[in-house]
């Protein structure tokens, strides 16, 4: 891959088989191209034609930190800048140095790509983004965003367009 920072396909081997990308049967009322996030099972489904979907394992928000609902992708970024929220800074005061943004790169928690979710013109502050740590996948491990391995978020990023509908399901669905 022609990337300015390291992305390792081998990271996939570090997550359980059930959280590795695969094409699966998937019944939904959502039209093809929709992204559906199942926060209960830690999966993201990119809906395809004919009752199929590409399924990715994801990390989701810790208890009480996940947003639920429908939104659309209104912005896509490669190697995005990360700006910590006030909640992040309260939990981890040392990151205040990044209050004006951490450039994209190896240590940036947003990883290789980010998909920004909006409702109308309102930024939900929820992102679908990359992760460097395979141990985050399949767990309630984030501050609210949906995280995929970098190699997987690049795969998804290349297949979704601006305007793509995203549905994040609550864990009781």
Residue 97 token pair? 């140095």
Q: How many CB atoms lie within 10 A of CB 114?
A: 25
User: Which stretches of the chain score pLDDT less than 70?
Assistant: 1, 173
Active site residue 129: yes
Active site residue 92: no
* Contacts with 133 (C-beta within 8 Å, 6 or more apart), sequence order: none
User: What pLDDT does residue 1 have?
Assistant: 63
59-85 pLDDT, tens per residue? 998 877 788 999 999 999 999 999 998
**CATH architecture for segment(s) 9-169:** Beta Barrel (2.40)
Domain ranges of the chain: 9-169
Q: Which of 42, 46, 88, 129 is catalytic?
A: 129
User: What pLDDT does residue 108 have?
Assistant: 93
User: What pLDDT does residue 143 have?
Assistant: 80
Q: What global pTM score does this model have? A: 0.94
Q: How many helices (H) and strands (E) does the chain have?
A: 2, 11
CA distances from 140 to 45, 51, 59, 132, 169 (A): 17, 27, 6, 16, 14
């Amino acid at each position: 891959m022609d990337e300015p920072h390291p992305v390792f396909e081998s990271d996939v081997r570090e997550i359980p088989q059930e959280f590795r990308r695969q094409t699966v049967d998937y019944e939904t009322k959502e039209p093809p191209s929709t992204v559906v996030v199942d926060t209960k099972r830690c999966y993201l489904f990119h809906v395809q034609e004919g009752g199929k979907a590409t399924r990715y394992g994801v990390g989701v928000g810790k208890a009480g930190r996940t947003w639920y609902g429908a939104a659309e992708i209104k912005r896509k970024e490669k190697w995005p800048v990360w700006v910590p929220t006030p909640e992040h800074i309260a939990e981890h005061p040392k990151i205040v140095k990044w209050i004006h943004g951490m450039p994209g790169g190896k240590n940036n928690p947003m990883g290789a790509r980010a998909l920004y979710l909006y409702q109308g013109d309102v930024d939900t502050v929820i992102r679908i983004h990359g992760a460097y740590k395979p141990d985050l996948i399949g767990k309630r491990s984030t501050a609210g965003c949906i995280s995929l391995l970098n190699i997987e978020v690049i795969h998804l990023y290349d297949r979704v367009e601006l305007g793509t509908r995203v549905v994040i399901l609550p864990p009781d669905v």
